[in-house]
Amino acid sequence: DTGVSQDPRHKITKRGQNVTFRCDPISEHNRLYWYRQTLGQGPEFLTYFQNEAQLEKSRLLSDRFSAERPKGSFSTLEIQRTEQGDSAMYLCASRIEGYEQYFGPGTRLTVT
């Protein structure tokens, strides 16, 4: 499969726990994006990487959120001390310049 993959697909956690999600982009794509999507809303931009450099972060990304892309390939998104309001679908997308984004299937987070 040569598409964007995300792991895990579903995560249920208790409030206060830390969670980490992984995204593997399409191999030649140097640009990687994280979004959050809640019911009835479009994807909300969280952060963007070009290669290993994190070039932009949304104000939505509080201090409890951190993202990395250490070797310019896969990326991780960590949420510390989760809150119920963090429950959402977390989407990853990748692209190369001049082309559209390709989305992964998402990780659905439920914080109880």
Tell me the closest approach of the beta carbon of residue 51 to other proteins, in angstroms. 13
Tell me the closest approach of the beta carbon of residue 71 to other proteins, in angstroms. 20
**DSSP label at 42?**
-
Q: Which residues bind other proteins (CB under 8 A)?
A: 31, 33, 35, 40-45, 48, 50, 55-56, 91, 93, 97-98, 100-106
Q: Left (φ > 0), alpha (ψ -120 to 50) or beta: where does 111 sit?
A: beta
The 10 Å Cβ neighbour count of residue 99 is 9
User: Of 28 and 97, which has the nearer Cβ to other proteins?
Assistant: 97
User: Of 25 and 106, which has the nearer Cβ to other proteins?
Assistant: 106
Residue 95 makes CB contacts below 8 A (sequence gap 6+) with 29, 31, 33, 101, 102
Tell me the closest approach of the beta carbon of residue 43 to other proteins, in angstroms. 5
